[in-house]
Amino acid sequence: MTSRTSEFSFYTKIYNSIFKRNSTFVATVFAGTFIFQASFDSAITRWYENHNKGKLWKDIKPAILARNGGGDEDADEDDDE
């Protein structure tokens, strides 16, 4: 019987700390969404870069620059305009 009482006590504490006031609930949802978005973005970026290793610009840039004579800085400046 004590485990059931402690279970209700746990849910009561969650209700009183998060769900009882609308402002606290909304803040919790925003914080949870921000944390989820940051971790999801990081995980997807890591997966994408591992899946496409050797095909990304950061992987092939040194080979292309070496083939074209060591890097032409003027070509990069023209792309910015």
Domain that holds residue 72: 2-80
Average pLDDT, the chain: 86
- CA end-to-end span of the chain: 73
* Number of domains the chain is built from: 1
Please give the pLDDT value at position 7: 73
* pLDDT tens digits, one per residue of 14-27: 999 999 999 999 99
Please give the pLDDT value at position 75: 54
Q: Residues of the chain whose pLDDT is less than 50?
A: 81
Kindly report the pTM of this predicted structure: 0.60
Q: Within 13 Å and on the Cβ side, how many CA atoms surround 16?
A: 6
- Lookup: tokens for 45: 């970026």
Q: What is the CATH number of the domain that holds 17?
A: 1.20.5.260
- Lookup: tokens for 19: 């769900």
Q: Report the alpha-carbon distance of residue 69 to residue 75 in Å, rounded.
A: 13
Amino acid in the structure at residue 59? D
